[in-house]
Amino acid sequence: MTGLNGDREAVERLVDAALASLEANRARIDDLNVYPVPDGDTGTNLTMTVRAVADAVDHTSAASRHSLARDVARGALMGARGNSGVIFSQIVRGAADVLGETNEPLIDADATARALRGASDAAYRAVRRPVEGTMLSVIRELAEEAEARAPGHPPIGELLLDLVRRGEDALARTPEQLQVLKDAGVVDAGGAGLVELVRGVAAAVTGEPIPEPQPIEEHLSHDAIHQELSKFRYCTVFLIEGEDLDRDALEGELEKLGDSLLVVGDPSAIKVHVHTDDPGAALSVGTKVGTIDRIEIANMHEQTQQREERLLSLVPDAAPAKSGVVAVVAGEGNRKLFESLAAQVGPISIVEGGQTMNPSTADLLRAVQSIDADEAIILPNNSNIVLAAEHAAANADRTVEVVPATSIPAGLAAMVAYDGSRTAAENAKEMREAIEAIATGEVTIASRDVQMNGIPITKGEWLGLAEGDPVAGGPDFDDVTYAVVERLLSEPRDLLTLLVGRDGAELQGVLDRIAKAHPDVEVDVQEGGQPHYHLLLSAE
Amino acid sequence: VEAGHALPSPLGRITISSEAIARIVGETARECYGVVGMAGRKWLPDRATRGIEIGGNGDGVTIDLHVVVEYGLNLAEVASTIRNRVSYEVERLTGLSVRAVEVHIDDVRRSG
């Protein structure tokens, strides 16, 4: 046979064979589970997912390959159970997308290779950081094997048997790729399921019987048990010997101490397995009723310590900062935004103030001297405060750079570029560039009648400014705001940030207009809480 | 900066900052199958803690994460995996108890 028949009945037979092969190995695969996948039962989850695919094939009314492929992919998506099921559904989708494109009656080696490549690529692109030593590495190697064989146009049965061998080989190498598998002495459970599925398909095509399920391997490392998901630290195992031991009473005592409890045996000898934080208490339960023997206590958390250390090492110690920031900010929300941008990056001191409340040079100087860093950067965030900031810089006991941000959004853009491990001068350069790269705007209420840039502004009406210049005035908030937005988006921009003022603003109308006219621009609305300006805007 | 989360110990309290917890959450979430990105405050660069909010005090940590998931995946299952793994890793690495993990799928994206 050179190819697989791709019609519904043939697909149904293949799926059923794959499912039978997986079902036969379900318990064995369940037992392969180890942390870090708290996916209690990979074999079961995967089996249920494949069953959903089989149901979809059974019930489809698809008349073409294309619609059959779509129904299969949909069945996998809807039926996906657990992490392994989700990965499998993506594998199915990738393969179905490729196979659904053609109506060639036979699926040959070449089409199989393309389908597996599609499956592998789809599986990989659905995760930010693919982890090797999982189902992903197995499907990738299957694709590579098929691609290597396809040019020789092997009969499909032969190709499938090669795929089973390559899958087994890839699976056997998963412990070398993922330390946690090696520690537990097991192979990846999801990968094992995938190999069984291919084995089932190969058996159906070649007419070979599906191999008997392999017994659970006795040499399965004891560590594998210890790595079950548990919030308790010690896996405690011991034997109690005595007379008339009451299994139920022991169980009742022990279950107060932890979880994963197993109490098995007869009245003369009972084996106990419990995960607990207090192994001593568990042992005492035994010594009260008999003698204890064959005690094993394992620290389950120790085995994963390496990974733990790696993760914790990602949390940096606060290195002494070379430079810190003094920012003049109005509004509780805006204060939090500045603080969150400085978090883990360097020290910040916020001075309350803005348009109507200008801090003095002395206020700024005090903030500069309070910064726990050799140098400082001042973000005045308002044109009226730049001069005071420069005076403070000239009189400070340390090197101070003023980055002349003249609005809150400009200051926030500058903060994104700030890094406390750099000097003030280095930061100032980066922060100025960040401000150059954005456009800012404001919406407020005019405080007097005035004619600006040829636009008549009436006291008490809305006034919109872009880059400091009035661009619109009038009684309608939406119209004025949208005029500012249009001006900010006159250059191509990706992101519009809106900071809502203390007095609030009804944004829905404006947001609808932006979504319609600029569907590609992302809009981020934040509670700024500033007085005076109902809305502050920036586009980048 | 927010106050830390306290862990009692015989020789005094241990405090773990929200930033530290957020880092662990971020690292873990990025390894979860289906997660193609973190959402959240858009003007933040893609720092480790983007899209993650840590809250709660005393009676357990609460975690909110905003993620972008690959189009065409079963969102409920992806979210459930994220919730389990994040809760497990935070409890295991910090010893703090996790009261709630709220997974917000802010967007889906069709990659490639």
Beta-ladder partners of A499: A526, A536
What proportion of chain A, given as a percentage, has pLDDT over 70? Answer: 89
Contact B31 A315 (CB under 8 A): no
Cα distance from A74 to chain B (closest Cα, Å)? 9
The mean pLDDT of A325-338, rounded to a whole number, is: 92
pLDDT digits (tens, 9 = 90+) for A234-282: 778 788 888 888 878 888 888 888 876 777 667 777 777 777 888 899 9
Helices (H), A34-155: 42-59, 65-79, 82-99, 109-125, 135-149
What backbone phi and psi angles, to 5 degrees, belong to B68?
-115, 130
Does B92 or A119 have the greater pLDDT score? Answer: A119
- pLDDT of B46: 55
Contacts with B92 from chain A: Cβ below 8 Å: 231, 301, 304, 308
Q: Is A319 touching B (CB cutoff 8 A)?
A: no
Contacts with B79 from chain A: Cβ below 8 Å: none
User: Which tokens belong to A306?
Assistant: 């390496």
Q: Which pLDDT band holds residue A314 (cuts at 50, 70, 90)?
A: very low
User: Which tokens belong to A102?
Assistant: 């053609």
pLDDT digits (tens, 9 = 90+) for B70-99: 988 888 889 988 998 899 889 888 888 899
Q: How many CB atoms lie within 10 A of CB A418?
A: 25
- pLDDT of B30: 87
What residue ranges in A227-374 does DSSP mark as E strands?
Answer: 234-241, 258-266, 269-276, 291-299, 323-329, 348-352
Contacts with B84 from chain A: Cβ below 8 Å: 38-39
Contact A93 B24 (CB under 8 A): no
Cα distance from A136 to chain B (closest Cα, Å)? 10
pLDDT for A230 beyond 60: no
Tell me the Cα Rg of chain A. 33
Closest CA in chain B for residue A45: B77
Q: Quick one: chain A helix, strand, coil %, rounded to 5?
A: 50, 20, 30
**Facing residue for A81 by CB, picked from B77, B88, B92:** B77
pLDDT digits (tens, 9 = 90+) for A144-196: 999 999 999 999 999 999 999 999 999 999 999 988 788 777 889 999 999 99
- pLDDT of A102: 80
- pLDDT of A388: 87
pLDDT digits (tens, 9 = 90+) for A364-406: 999 998 898 899 999 999 888 888 898 889 888 899 999 999 8
The mean pLDDT of A99-113, rounded to a whole number, is: 87
Task: Pick the closest to residue A390 from A374, A403, A408 (CA basis).
Answer: A403
Contact B70 A90 (CB under 8 A): yes
Contact B23 A413 (CB under 8 A): no
Q: What is the pTM of this model?
A: 0.52
Q: What is the DSSP string of A479-534?
A: HHHHHHHHHHTTS--SEEEEEE-TT----HHHHHHHHHH-TTSEEEEEE---SSEE
- pLDDT of A296: 75
Q: Which pLDDT band holds residue A222 (cuts at 50, 70, 90)?
A: very low
Residue A128: DSSP 8-state? S
pLDDT for A120 beyond 80: yes
Task: Pick the closest to residue A416 from A477, A343, A326, A318 (CA basis).
Answer: A343
Cα distance from B46 to chain A (closest Cα, Å)? 11
Strands A323-329, A375-379: pairing is parallel
What proportion of chain B, given as a percentage, has pLDDT over 90? Answer: 21
- Rounded to whole angstroms, the Cα distance separating A140 from A170 reads 9
Q: Which helix (H) or strand (E) holds B51?
A: none
Residue type for position A137: S
- Rounded to whole angstroms, the Cα distance separating B58 from B6 reads 7
Cα distance from B100 to chain A (closest Cα, Å)? 16
- pLDDT of A271: 74
- pLDDT of A243: 87
- pLDDT of A163: 95
**Facing residue for A343 by CB, picked from B19, B32, B42:** B19
Q: Residues of A numbered 210-269 whose beta carbons fall under 8 angstroms of chain B's beta carbons: which are they?
A: 229, 231
Cα distance from B5 to chain A (closest Cα, Å)? 15
**Facing residue for B37 by CB, picked from A35, A128, A229:** A128
The answer to whether the beta carbons of residues A222 and A240 sit under 8 Å apart is: no
Contact B70 A127 (CB under 8 A): yes
In the three-class reduction of DSSP (H, G, I as helix; E, B as strand; rest coil), residue A390 is classed as: helix
- pLDDT of A153: 93
User: Which tokens belong to B34?
Assistant: 């289906």
Place of tokens 């480790």: B48
User: Which of A89, A124, A127 would best serve as a mutation to test chain B binding (most B beta carbons within 10 A)?
Assistant: A127
Cα distance from A457 to chain B (closest Cα, Å)? 32
- CA dist B51 → B3, B38, B47, B103 (Å): 19, 6, 9, 10
**Facing residue for B35 by CB, picked from A35, A87, A128:** A128
Contact A524 B41 (CB under 8 A): yes
What proportion of chain A, given as a percentage, has pLDDT over 90? Answer: 40
- pLDDT of A161: 93
Chain B positions touching chain A (beta carbons under 8 Å) = 1, 19-20, 23-24, 27, 30-37, 41-45, 47-49, 70, 72-74, 77-78, 81, 84-85, 88-89, 91-93, 111-112
Does B69 or A180 have the greater pLDDT score? Answer: B69
What backbone phi and psi angles, to 5 degrees, belong to A245?
-65, 135
- Give the A:B interface size as CB pairs under 8 Å: 117
Long-range contacts from A263-268, C-beta under 8 angstroms, 24+ separation: A265/A239, A265/A240, A267/A243, A268/A241, A268/A242, A268/A243
User: Which of B32, B33, B47, B64 would best serve as a mutation to test chain A binding (most A beta carbons within 10 A)?
Assistant: B33
Instruction: Classify each residue of A215-241 as buried b or exposed e, where b means 16 or more C-beta atoms within 10 Å of its C-beta.
Output: eeeeeeeebbbbbbbbebbbbbbbbbb
Q: Provide CB contacts within 8 A for A349, sequence distance 6+.
A: A324, A325, A326, A327, A367, A368, A370, A371
pLDDT digits (tens, 9 = 90+) for B9-51: 777 777 888 888 998 999 899 889 999 888 865 445 556 778 8
Q: Is A126 touching B (CB cutoff 8 A)?
A: yes
**Facing residue for B74 by CB, picked from A86, A128, A301:** A86
User: Which tokens belong to B76?
Assistant: 């409920």
Does A303 or A131 have the greater pLDDT score? Answer: A131
- pLDDT of B6: 80
Contacts with B34 from chain A: Cβ below 8 Å: 86, 126-127
Asked if the peptide bond before residue A36 counts as cis, ω within 30 degrees of 0, the response is: yes
Helices (H), A371-507: 386-395, 408-417, 424-436, 477-488
Beta-ladder partners of A439: A539
- Rounded to whole angstroms, the Cα distance separating A426 from A377 reads 10
- pLDDT of A301: 64
The answer to whether the beta carbons of residues A237 and A198 sit under 8 Å apart is: no
Q: What is the mean pLDDT of chain A?
A: 84
The mean pLDDT of A431-444, rounded to a whole number, is: 92
- pLDDT of A215: 44
